[in-house]
Amino acid sequence: MKARILGTGSYLPERCLTNDDLAQWLDTSDAWIRERTGIGRRYVSEAGTAEMAVRAAKAALENGGISAEEVDLILVGTMTPDYFCPSVSCQVQCALGADRAACLDISAACSGFLFALSTAQAYISSGMAETVLVIGAETMSRVVDWEDRGTCVLFGDGAGAAALQAGETGILAVDMGCRGSKGMALSCPAVPLQNPTERARYEENSFIRMDGQEIFKFAVRTVPDTVRRVLQAAGIPAEEISHFVFHQANRRILLSVAKNLGIPMEKVPMNIERTGNMSAASVPVLLDELNRKGELVRGEKLVLSGFGAGLSWGSLVLEW
């Protein structure tokens, strides 16, 4: 059995910040941000990660014609949960009334939705689950330093979801990996170590710190490799893929990846201009936008690919 996406959903907050808004307090400009990243604006949420995840999940279940009672497993890719516990997935279960579901958050930053989808495939193909709700949801606005022009211009908030069920076709091949040795190139501290026997060893804020050029180099080298591997594993040539749905980190990264792979840009959809980098939410939000525009045809083959902190990457080929 394979994991097949039957429905998608997404939620984007009402409020957004344009590049000109940021330039009111940062030494930056609309021209710089657009040229270096392709980003024009990004959403910032009034709600937490779970609330956005619930809205996306409801839309995905409705779109797929699946009831909350059918869901066996809820997987949420996120690096910005509202609480260490309960998990976002448990909060989603409660809000949906998906009482039969087991719940699990997956921390793989921008690769989170891909890691969660591959986990869904593993559960479904092994027979451990039949219906799985996979969500990518992030409130990146809570972990960016709004005074750091090198990072805060990049990120945005949002949530996307996919409802999957066991079927004859669906996810055909998966390629995932991590390079923990380079992990500090993109980091965000949690709470300091502090207990009755140990004083705080560091006093950092929970803000994202990033070596942008290191991540850029990592992405333009790693993404073509993972896409080639996953296509080979599926036994499908790149020409047969209708859409390459990539994590929306930077327009220049995607142009470079497409050129390396010899893919026409018409097959590389982008929403980064409107949304910025929403980490684990980028791929499912874009997928839902394509689905709702009627651009995904049943039977066509897609590649989904995410990459980022960890460092990590995850790609898969699926039949829509």
Residues at the interface with ligand UT7 (CB under 6 A): 28, 32-33, 36-37, 110, 149-150, 153, 210, 212-213, 215-216, 249-250, 277, 308
Q: Which is nearer to ligand UT7, 163 or 186 (CB)?
A: 186
Closest alpha carbon to 277 in 111, 148, 157: 157
**Cβ 185 to ligand UT7, closest distance in Å?**
9
- How is residue 284 written in tokens? 């499912």
DSSP annotation of 47: S
In this structure, what token pair is assigned to residue 320?
């829509």
277 tagged catalytic: yes
Among 152, 139, 112, 155, smallest CA distance to 48 is for 139
Instruction: Name which of 93 and 282 has its Cβ closer to ligand UT7.
Output: 282
In the residue annotation, 243 being an active-site residue is answered as no
Residue in 243, 247, 250, 291 annotated catalytic: 247
Using the minimum distance from each CB to ligand UT7, give the nearer residue, 58 or 149. 149
> Which residue has the CB atom at the shortest distance from ligand UT7?
212
Q: How far is the CB of 183 from ligand UT7 (least distance, A)?
A: 13
Closest separation in Å from C-beta 1 to ligand UT7: 32
124 phi, psi to nearest 5 deg: -70, -45
Both tokens of 62, joined, read 């409705």
Say which residues have a Cβ less than 8 Å from residue 107's Cβ, sequence separation at least 6. 77, 78, 79
Q: Which of 19, 63, 90, 110 is catalytic?
A: 110
Provide, rounded to whole angstroms, the least separation between the CB of residue 98 and ligand UT7. Answer: 29
Structure tokens belonging to residue 227: 């896409």
The sign one gets for the Cα dihedral 47, 293, 246, 106 is positive
* Cα 174–chain centre separation: 16
Is 2 or 149 the residue whose CB approaches ligand UT7 more closely?
Answer: 149
Which of 19, 63, 250, 277 is the catalytic position? 277
> 110 catalytic, yes or no?
yes
Token pair in block for residue 19: 């590049």
Identify residue 63 by its one-letter amino acid code: N
What distance lies between CA 145 and its chain's CA centroid? Answer: 21
- Cross-strand bridge partners of residue 100: none
Minimum gap (Å) between residue 199 Cβ and ligand UT7: 33
Task: Say how far apart CA 66 and CA 164 lie, in whole Å.
Answer: 9
Smaller CB separation from ligand UT7, 242 or 256: 256
Catalytic residues: 110, 247, 277
